Amino acid sequence: MLLISCPHCGPRAEIEFAYGHEAHIARPTDQEKLTDAEWADYLFMRKNPKGVHYERWVHARGCRRWFNVARHTVTHEILAVYRMGDPPPALDR
């Protein structure tokens, strides 16, 4: 069980959080102009890297705020926690 530092509440056990899949996927504007494949890419396709993954979490059983996490998918090491809207930090791992 991971230990996740909520940017608003501090370190808490994973059971207080809910996972919200890959971060930094902007909702497309001009959707009508997208092909089905492009729309499907937004809708369904997610990265599954062996390495650093930028992802969203919500402190569902705490402050209920969403935030971003950079997590290494092999070691589960949490390399960064940053707020919604902040750009992903460059991590060269």
Partner 1 sequence: MTRRNLRLADRGRLDRSQPIRFIFNGRTYYGYKGDTLASALIANGVALVGRSFKYHRPRGIMTAGSEEPNGLVQLGQGARTEPNIRATQIELYDGLVAASQNCWPSVGFDLGATNNLLSRFFPAGFYYKTFMWPASFWMKYEYFIRRAAGLGKAPGEPDPDRYDKTYAHCDVLVAGGGPAGIAAALAAARAGARVVLADEQAEFGGQLLHSRSEEIAGRPAVDWVAAAVAELSTMPEVTLLRRTTAFAYQDHNFVELVERVTDHLGPGADGPRQRYWRLRARQVVLAAGAIERPLVFADNDRPGIMLASAGRAYANRYGVAVGDKVLVFTGNDSAYRAALDLAEAGTAIAAIVDLRPDAGGPLVAEARGKGIEVLAAHAVTATRGSARLEGVTVMPLNAAGDGVTGGGRQIACDALLMSGGWNPAIHLFSHNRGKLRFDERVQSFVPGEPVRGCHTAGAMNGAFETADCLAQGFAAGRKAASEAGASGEAGSVPTVTRAEPAESPDRVLWIVPSDKPLGEGGKHFVDHQNDVTAADVALAHREGYRSVEHLKRYTTMGMGTDQGKTSNVNALAIMAALRDRQIPEVGHTTFRPPFAPVTIGAFSGHDKGDLFDPIRKTPMHGWHEKTGAPFEDVGQWKRAWYYPKPGEDMHAAVAREVKAVRAGVGIVDASTLGKIDIKGSDAARLLNMVYTNAWSKLEIGRCRYGLMCGEDGMVFDDGVTTRLGEQHFLMSTTTGNAARVLGWLEEWLQCEWPDWQVHCTSVTEQFATVGLNGPMARKLLAELTDDIPLDDAAFPFMSIREGHVAGIAARVMRISFTGELTFEINVAASYGLALWEALMAAGEKYGITPYGTEAMHVLRAEKGFIIVGQETDGTQTPQDLDMAWIVSKQKPDHLGKRSFLRTDTARPDRKHLVGLLTENPSEVIPEGGQVVAELKNQPPMTMLGHVTSSYYSPNVGRSIAMAVVKNGRNRMGDTVYVPLVDRVIRAKVTEPRFFDLEGARLNG
Judged by the rule CB under 8 A, the positions of this chain that interact with partner 1 are 1-3, 13, 18, 20, 27, 31-32, 34, 36, 39-40, 42-43, 56, 58, 60, 64-66, 74-78, 84-85
Residue 17 contacts residue 11 (beta carbons within 8 Å) = no
Residue 27 or 90: the one with the smaller Cβ distance to partner 1 is 27
Judged by CB, which is closer to partner 1: 36, or 92? 36
Binding partner selected for residue 13 from Zn ion, partner 1, none, CB under the kind-specific 5 to 8 Å limit: partner 1
Say how many C-beta atoms besides its own lie within 10 A of residue 23's C-beta.
19
Decide if residue 8 touches Zn ion (CB under 5 A).
yes
Give the side-chain half-sphere CA count within 13 A for 21: 9
- How far apart are the C-alpha atoms of 60 and 32, rounded to whole Å? 34
Q: What does the block give as tokens for 12?
A: 């808490």
Residue 9 CB, shortest distance to partner 1, in Å, is 15
